[in-house]
Amino acid sequence: MRRSLRGLPAGLHDVAHEPGLVVPAADGSPLLTDHYFPVADGDFPTLLIRSPYGRGFPWAPMYGMLFAEQGFHVVLQSCRGTGGSGGEFHLWRNEPADGQATVAWLRRQPWFSGVLGTIGPSYLGYVQWALALDPPPELRAMVIQVGMHDPHGFFHPTDAFSLENALAVAVGLTRQHLGIPAFLRSALRLRRHLGKVTRTLPLAESYVPALGGRVPFLDGAMAHPDPQDPYWDGADIGAAADTLTVPTSLITGRHDIYLDQTLRQYGRLRRAGCETALLVGPWTHNSALQQGWPEVFAESLAWLRAHLCDDRSGLRRTRVRVHMGGRQTWHDLPDWPPATTGRRWYLGSGGTLDSRAPEGTTPPLSFRYDPADPTPSVGGPLLSNKAGPQDNSALEARDDVLTFTTEPLAAPVRVLGAAHVELQVTTDTGHADVFARLCDVDERNRSVNVCDGLRRLQPDDGTPAAVTVPLSSTAHCFPAGHRIRLQISGGAHPRFARNTGTGEPSATATRLAPADVSLHHPSVLVLPTAEAPV
């Protein structure tokens, strides 16, 4: 690990390993658990890591070995129904009770000092929030890295189903715990079938060959888009942050699939008066644990030492640290979001984006969205190597993508927080989506995505309807000489399941119908800007 990633600290201890320990779950099911520990005398705090992805690579070297050699007992456990553990895996139902049962087992271990922390990314963050619903007295710190607390919010981050990411997660949760060869075979099978899956109806049937069988949680998520549906009862455990007193570090990336979930939890923790820290890096969900691992590991280790070992020497002075896109620099901030001003940019009929409102009557701008040839997705918060900032020039050349662009900027524009777009929209069928994307256009006319959002339109009566499209939060500086661009289109496929245009549920729709979408004036992009440099 140190040979492949520079910047990791030297180990302090040799490490020993007890594999395959059996921990009884809440109902007695055996939970297989590995124990890594420093070979040294004395008491050491314990880190609990519960994972549905197995206990081998990368969890053993990145968490078991690296943290044990820094002076922690590391308990790495497979969630029920995964990695050899007994019982049946469920996406959210068992984690609170199984976490409590594991802590009860820890209390009986002679090496357990009574000082406990938790750490881990993605679903490994979800199990931490599950334990925090009723935090045991031993729990002194949590580190949630690119973590989730709301499964519905993952599958339906907007009004459309998160198709490509949902398929990738299904592969990870059903195959990764079986070992790297099985996981890679399944990932390659999905890649081969992805084009057919995403263009074949009905969607609830087309995915099955690509994943080698039905996946119950995927079926359930597609069939139940409404967050108030009883199907989702108990799934969203974000309320744990509302009363939490356990010091919690949150780590995410500007293009992480869980960026907005992380920022919501940060706000809840701050309102609860809980000690918390936030790190937002230049990462996607995957790259935070790859290229970003030296920074993520250092941040995590400093937090754990501060709250489990009473060593605060490694903590930074400010609560928030963010990486500013455009400048490619780190900035320390007292809080998030910082104070900003909502700066308005009006969409013009000639494809302009201007701080001055258009004068007089201007005709609407229209595009035709054809679900048989859906507008493709490019970059953004994906679980693939095509995630993050990408050149959008080819996408913007399509007839079904409208672009609105400023003149070259005379001074930098610093965006910090969540932007949004206020549109006046009509459709001919009443069934369409609006995808809005903010881009940074450099002097070479390279258009790179910054943040985006999607909104499903409701059937209208032919008169313009006011529609607000929220964009994901960001920290980005548009340098002087660059241009700000806004894209408007009818989707981003296969990142989001296409709107079939018929009003049928996306999981069971069998027909496709194109839709004409028109933008009327005034329509506005609103950017939260900081006037002074940060």
Please check whether residues 374 and 520 belong to one and the same domain: yes
Q: What is the pLDDT of residue 358?
A: 80
Indicate the pLDDT class of residue 349, thresholds 50, 70 and 90.
confident
Instruction: Establish if 525 belongs to a structural domain.
Output: yes
The chain-wide mean pLDDT, for the chain, equals 95
Q: What is the pLDDT of residue 499?
A: 96
- 469-510 residue pLDDT tens: 999 999 999 999 999 999 999 999 999 999 999 999 999 999
What domain count does the chain have? 2
Lowest mean per-residue pLDDT among 457-461, 507-511, 523-527:
457-461
Closest of 131, 137, 120, 147 to residue 47, by C-alpha:
120
Closest of 527, 50, 496 to residue 257, by C-alpha:
496
Closest of 34, 267, 33, 301 to residue 141, by C-alpha:
301
Indicate the pLDDT class of residue 361, thresholds 50, 70 and 90.
confident
CB atoms within 10 A of CB 110: 4
Q: How far apart are CA 78 and CA 178, in angstroms?
A: 11
- 377-419 residue pLDDT tens: 999 999 999 999 999 999 999 999 999 999 999 999 999 999 9
Q: How far apart are CA 431 and CA 499, in angstroms?
A: 8
Instruction: Establish if 177 belongs to a structural domain.
Output: yes
Contact call for residues 23 and 78 (beta carbons, < 8 A):
no
- 280-291 residue pLDDT tens: 999 999 999 999
Name every residue whose Cβ is closer than 8 Å to that of residue 122 and which is 6 or more positions away in sequence: 145, 146, 147, 148, 258, 285
Q: What is the pLDDT of residue 45?
A: 98
Q: What is the pLDDT of residue 5?
A: 59
Instruction: Establish if 404 belongs to a structural domain.
Output: yes
> At which residue do the structure tokens 């929030």 appear?
129
Please check whether residues 383 and 522 belong to one and the same domain: yes
Contact call for residues 413 and 484 (beta carbons, < 8 A):
yes
Q: How far apart are CA 426 and CA 429, in angstroms?
A: 9
Contact call for residues 218 and 248 (beta carbons, < 8 A):
no
The CATH number of the domain holding residue 516 is 2.60.120.260
Of 165, 197, 226, which residue is a domain's last?
226
CA angle 371/521/433 to nearest 5° reads 20
Q: What is the pLDDT of residue 146?
A: 98
Q: What is the pLDDT of residue 362?
A: 81
CA distance readout (Å), 517 to 346, 365, 464? 18, 8, 11
Mean pLDDT of 230-246: 98
Q: How far apart are CA 397 and CA 404, in angstroms?
A: 13
Instruction: Establish if 461 belongs to a structural domain.
Output: yes
Q: Which helix (H) or strand (E) holds 185?
A: helix 180-199
Q: What is the DSSP letter of 310?
A: S
Q: How far apart are CA 488 and CA 437, in angstroms?
A: 7
Q: Percent of the chain scored above 70 by pLDDT?
A: 98
Instruction: Establish if 331 belongs to a structural domain.
Output: no
Which alpha helices (DSSP H) does 149-179 contain, by range? 151-155, 163-175
Tokens of residue 213, six digits:
């069988």
Burial of 407 per CB tally in 10 Å (0-12, 13-18, 19+): exposed
Instruction: Establish if 123 belongs to a structural domain.
Output: no
Instruction: Establish if 68 belongs to a structural domain.
Output: no
Q: How far apart are CA 101 and CA 30, in angstroms?
A: 11
Of 169, 194, 226, which residue is a domain's last?
226
Of 226, 242, 275, which residue is a domain's last?
226
Instruction: Establish if 109 belongs to a structural domain.
Output: no
Q: What is the pLDDT of residue 3?
A: 55
* Residue-range definition of the domain harbouring residue 347: 341-529
Region at 88 (left for phi over 0; alpha for psi -120 to 50; beta for the rest): beta
